[in-house]
Structures are given as C-alpha cells and as structure tokens.
C-alpha cells in the first residue's frame, strides 16, 4: 500500500508560513517520519507515564506519542493560543483551508499525530486518519468515531469474534484518551511549552471528556438520517398484520 502524505501549512498574519509534512505508512497507519535526534527529557517513557501504559522503559525508552510531538511544539513554542492564522491541509484527495486560531489548528494536527504515534491506546483512531477530516465538529467526530467503531465490529464478527454493538468499548477508548491527554499536558507544562500546544491538547480533551456521555445520550439524534433504512421493517410488520 502506498504511504499517505498529509501536509499542514500554517500561514500567519505577517504572511510567514510554517509547513509540516507527514508521511504515514500505508499499511500500519503509523507515522514514518524520522524521529527527532537527542529528544528532550520530557519524552522519556517514565516521565509522567500514563497510569494505564503497557510499555516499559527497557524496551521503549521514549513515550511514542510524546516523541512525535517534539518537532511540532518546538515550532509553535513562541506562538499565542489565540493568534489568528490560516491553516491549509493538503491530502491526495483534497485541499482544505480554514481561518482559525493557533490552538485550533494545532488541535487538529495533534489529533492526527496522536492517532498515528504508535501509542497502544490510540490505535482505534488509525482508520479515521486514512480519511482525515481537519477541524471536525463534535457532531462530525461523534458520527465518524461511532461509524468507525461499528465497522470494526462488523469485521470482528466476520472473523468469528464477539461484536460490541452497544458501543461499550468506544466509551472505554475515550476514557483511555483522557488519561493520555492529562499525562501529555503534564509533560508539556513541566517542559515550559507554550500555551498554544497545551491549549490545543485541552481542546482535544474536551472532546474526550464529553464523548462517553455524548455516545450515551446523543446517538439517537442521528436516527432521522436513517429513516429510509426502516422502511423494510415497517413493510414487514404491515405484511404480518
């Protein structure tokens, strides 16, 4: 499979531009970009290691997610969270541009890095990266995450596994993400990283905190989109009457 290339271009009010190119392995859906040389201490695995992390520092000396954030947070270390800019995201299929704040642009970018970092708790998001949607709203994220999870259950069922159509596992995914976001935020704060990167992570965490409740309470709001699928059920009921 061909690698996936995604480019983020941040254009500032003075017309300067920071461009970040991502090369994602087409098979593993993990970042294939070179790792930074001589990474800072805050990326060490045992520095604010997540409580649920299955890795050990002998085999994995660095947190796979933290080390992937090094180059990005370095680029934005002197930028204010609310600085206005234009973000252009270029994939093979399309170009997307949005005028937004530094923290929101970074939040979209960091979400993609989290999914492709190789962290054992973020593998669920890999298929969503294949169809990357920058600047997604909460409603769009709920739809995409639920659809991704249910499609995974379809394949699990075909492989002879037990499918989870109640989305119990999806809630757990986002509970795990909350732990990761907290740990990464601690790393960034202790490393005196600028507020733009930290607040970008906070925005992602707001999604993660809300998602278990949204999954529980808001999925029914999508039902009207599928009314045409229920026609056969209604016809079958009418036939039996």
**86 - beta bridge partners?**
11, 99
Question: What pTM did the predictor assign?
Answer: 0.89
pLDDT of residue 239: 57
Query: Quick one: which H or E segment has residue 78?
Result: none
Which structural domain range is residue 136 located in?
4-240
Is residue 76 very low, low, confident or very high in pLDDT (cuts 50, 70, 90)? Answer: confident
What is the rounded CA–CA span in Å between residue 55 and residue 59?
8
Is residue 79 very low, low, confident or very high in pLDDT (cuts 50, 70, 90)? Answer: confident
- pLDDT of residue 217 exceeding 60, the answer is yes
Q: What is the DSSP letter of 31?
A: B
Is residue 6 very low, low, confident or very high in pLDDT (cuts 50, 70, 90)? Answer: very high
In residues, how long is the chain?
241
Q: What is the overall mean pLDDT for the chain?
A: 91
pLDDT digits (tens, 9 = 90+) for 95-152: 999 999 999 999 999 999 999 999 999 999 999 999 999 999 989 999 999 999 999 9
Lay out the sheet containing 17-24: strands in order across.
17-24, 4-12, 84-90, 95-101
CA atoms within 13 A on the CB side of 229: 5
- pLDDT of residue 241 exceeding 60, the answer is no
Q: How many domains does the chain have?
A: 1
What is the rounded CA–CA span in Å between residue 8 and residue 18?
8
What is the rounded CA–CA span in Å between residue 179 and residue 170?
15
pLDDT of residue 88: 97
Mean pLDDT of 159-184: 94
pLDDT of residue 80: 87
């Amino acid at each position: 499979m061909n690698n996936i290339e995604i480019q983020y271009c941040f254009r500032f009010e003075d017309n300067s531009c920071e461009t970040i190119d991502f090369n994602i392995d087409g098979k593993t859906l993990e970042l294939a970009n070179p790792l930074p040389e001589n990474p800072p201490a805050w990326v060490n695995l045992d520095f604010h290691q997540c409580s649920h992390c299955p890795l050990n520092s002998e085999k994995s000396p660095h947190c796979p997610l933290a080390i992937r954030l090094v180059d990005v947070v370095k680029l934005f270390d002197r930028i204010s969270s609310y600085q206005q800019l234009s973000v252009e995201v270029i994939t093979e299929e399309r170009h997307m541009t949005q005028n937004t704040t530094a923290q929101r642009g970074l939040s979209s970018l960091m979400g993609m890095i989290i999914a492709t970092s190789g962290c054992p708790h973020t593998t669920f998001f890999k298929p969503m990266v294949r169809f990357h949607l920058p600047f997604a709203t909460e409603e769009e994220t709920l739809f995409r995450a639920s659809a991704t999870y249910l499609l995974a259950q379809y394949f699990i069922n075909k492989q002879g596994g037990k499918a989870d159509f109640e989305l119990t596992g999806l809630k757990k995914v986002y509970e795990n993400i909350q732990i990761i976001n907290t740990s990464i935020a601690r790393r960034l704060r202790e490393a005196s990283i600028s507020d733009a990167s930290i607040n970008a992570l906070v925005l992602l965490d707001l999604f993660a905190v809300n998602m278990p409740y949204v999954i529980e309470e808001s999925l029914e709001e999508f039902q009207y989109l599928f009314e045409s699928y229920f026609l056969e059920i209604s016809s079958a009921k009418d036939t039996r009457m």
